[in-house]
Amino acid sequence: MTNDLPATITAVDLGSNSFHLVVAETANGRFKIVDRMRTMVRLAAGLTSDNRIDDEALKRAIKCLQQFGERLRHLEPNNVRIVGTNTLRLARNGPAFQAQAEAAVGYPIDVISGREEARLIYLGVSHGLEDESDLRLVIDIGGGSTELILGRRFDPLIMESLHMGCVAMSVAHFSDGKITDARLKRAEIRAKQELEPLEATYRESGWQSVIGASGTNVAIRDIVIANGWSKDGITANSLLKLRASLIAAGDIGNLNLPGLSEERRDVLPGGVAILLGIFQTFGIEHMRVSSSALREGLLYDLQGRIQHEDVREQTVEALVDRYSTDRAQSHRVLCTAKDLWLQVNALWNICGTDLEQLLRWASALHEIGSAIAHSQYHKHGGYLLTHLDMPGFSRGEQRTLAVLVRGHRRKFPVAEFETLADASRDKIEKLCVLLRLAVVLHRRRTDAQLPAIQIRVEDERIRLQFPDEWLQEHQLTMADLAQEADYLKMSRFRLKFR
């Protein structure tokens, strides 16, 4: 199986501080990184008080993505994964920027949740370590968020993403460049406030090792080693010496520490304050630093999808078990929905494994809301799939799945579909119609075989054709279809059957 992997896969991380591109060649189930590109975009620094990315930051981002696009242009879309993190999660103009960004880079962009970011970080870090069986705490301080993950080997056990990062903390406490003991204390207390709800849970776990990842931790590691304050990784004592050096400098412009890069200088005080808060909250004395993080995690996750080891499949399966959905009914609905899809996917332009996956996942989870209450269970299901943690899914994928489940019965929720991206809305509406028809045809919830049903489509007009006399012999199904035709009148689709 591994020999069938594509020659090249690529991960792009649109971070709050910098944008990273990593290109890897695959062979025998492994990959070797062959190219990296990095641009300090400082997207979080351009986030205004009303959570909008300002024009200057947008221009920097688009320029960077145009350059990335030149590097990626020859690659297959399925071999490229681009994700946005905390700033794009927060930004009110994020969706508008995302459309511009996708046009600039030439590939779709997934905005991922904080916990999904944490999962991918842990995946990258754990693959970069020896196969240790100890419980480890992984700490990743980014530009706009900080992820804390407890895990063993390749399995993350507890994941949290906090709204604090080196850029945001530096802007909040050191925007004029001045560094004082009082300012650092305020920043450290702010970090500890974010950490306070997690302290007891994490301390009780009793981890055996601590590993830092990403730019802030790498930069601090380089500084403390270059200055002779630590021989390996970051120690609590070396961090205090770095803190004293920041205060002695008094101003960001005066920072001239061995190991400190020019581009990292402006955000160093905020990053140091966060790491000090973490060390003090959890009583950490020593932290190793990993060279792998989110980008490498993206590569491993992408490789898994290509090898049909998609964590999203595991997530759906876990939800089916957790909410005790009726597997037999889900299977009936899926078989009929897929049969209808195969008949019309070319005419309706809804071909592709990604859409087939969505139809399969929606069929598996369409009754998940009945675990809350049977009344309005389609609405409960939509709500659950909007707000649950779903490892492997981007926020856009999760929202799309939620809308499909929300729309699988009763009134056609036109307003819900209007929340989806324009580029995908038409296809998702058509998938939803096929799911609805399959649900209607299996309302009896029995294994009685359906006849061969032909479906014809012309634009938004749908015609179902049953064998002669079959509908006359199944009056309830005919009544259900008539009701469905009425429901669809609220949409752009029209249903006829005979």
pLDDT, one tens digit per residue, over 242-297 is 999 999 999 999 999 999 999 999 999 999 999 999 999 999 999 999 988 999 99
Q: Sign (positive/negative) of CA torsion 41, 44, 46, 47?
A: positive
The 10 Å Cβ neighbour count of residue 238 is 21
| CA of residue 411 relative to chain centroid, distance | 30
Contact of 232 with 288, CB cutoff 8 Å: yes
The tokens describing 443, both together, are 């309302």
What residue has token string 């049903």? 453
- Give the model's confidence band at 324: pLDDT under 50 very low, under 70 low, under 90 confident, else very high: very high
Contact of 169 with 187, CB cutoff 8 Å: yes
Average pLDDT, the chain: 94
Phi, psi of 245 (to 5 degrees): -65, -35
Strands (E), 185-248: 209-213, 234-235
Q: pLDDT at residue 2 above 50?
A: no
What residue has token string 């370590």? 129
Q: How far apart are CA 396 and CA 403, in angstroms?
A: 11
Residue 331: the pLDDT is: 97
End-to-end CA, the chain: 46
Contacts of 483 (CB under 8 A, 6+ apart): none
Least confident of 305-309, 396-400, 489-493: 305-309
What pTM, to 2 d.p., does this model score? 0.89
Contacts of 480 (CB under 8 A, 6+ apart): 440, 443
Q: pLDDT at residue 311 above 90?
A: yes
Least confident of 40-49, 355-364, 455-464, 474-483: 40-49
Going by the DSSP 8-state scheme, the letter that residue 163 receives in this structure is S
Q: Calculate mean pLDDT across residues 331-348.
A: 97
Pseudo-torsion of CA 258, 259, 260, 262, nearest 10°? 100
The tokens describing 258, both together, are 């061995």
Q: How far is residue 90 from each of residues 47, 48, 52, measured CA to CA in Å? A: 9, 11, 8
What residue has token string 């009303």? 50
Q: How many Cα neighbours within 13 Å face the side chain of 97? A: 29
Contacts of 193 (CB under 8 A, 6+ apart): none
Residue 149: the pLDDT is: 97
Pseudo-torsion of CA 311, 316, 318, 321, nearest 10°? -160
Q: How far is residue 439 from each of residues 102, 319, 353, 416, 486, measured CA to CA in Å? A: 35, 20, 22, 19, 16
Q: How far apart are CA 225 and CA 464, in angstroms?
A: 72
Rg of the Cα atoms in the chain:
26
Going by the DSSP 8-state scheme, the letter that residue 448 receives in this structure is P
Residue 424: the pLDDT is: 92
Phi, psi of 421 (to 5 degrees): -60, 140
Instruction: Using a pLDDT cut of 70, give the percent of the chain over it.
Output: 98
Contacts of 189 (CB under 8 A, 6+ apart): 277
Give all domains of the chain, ordered by start, each with its CATH number.
Answer: 2-112+297-304 (3.30.420.40), 129-291 (3.30.420.150), 310-497 (1.10.3210.10)
Q: How deeply is 286 buried, as exposed, middle or buried, from its count of CB atoms within 10 A (0-12, 13-18, 19+)? A: middle
Residue 30: the pLDDT is: 76
Residue 10: the pLDDT is: 96
| CA of residue 453 relative to chain centroid, distance | 38
Residue 42: the pLDDT is: 92
Q: Calculate mean pLDDT across residues 94-105.
A: 94
What residue has token string 């061969």? 452
Contacts of 244 (CB under 8 A, 6+ apart): none
Q: pLDDT at residue 447 above 80?
A: yes
Q: How far apart are CA 29 and CA 308, in angstroms?
A: 12
Q: What is the pLDDT of residues 170-216, one digit of tens each?
A: 999 999 999 999 999 999 999 999 999 999 999 999 899 999 998 99
Residue 29: the pLDDT is: 67
- Give the model's confidence band at 4: pLDDT under 50 very low, under 70 low, under 90 confident, else very high: low
- Give the model's confidence band at 309: pLDDT under 50 very low, under 70 low, under 90 confident, else very high: confident
29 or 423, greater pLDDT:
423
Q: pLDDT at residue 6 above 80?
A: no
Residue 110: the pLDDT is: 95
Residue 452: the pLDDT is: 96
Contact of 155 with 174, CB cutoff 8 Å: no
Q: What is the pLDDT of residues 102-139, one digit of tens each?
A: 999 999 999 999 999 999 999 999 988 876 778 999 99
Strands 155-162 and 110-111: unpaired
Residue 369: the pLDDT is: 97
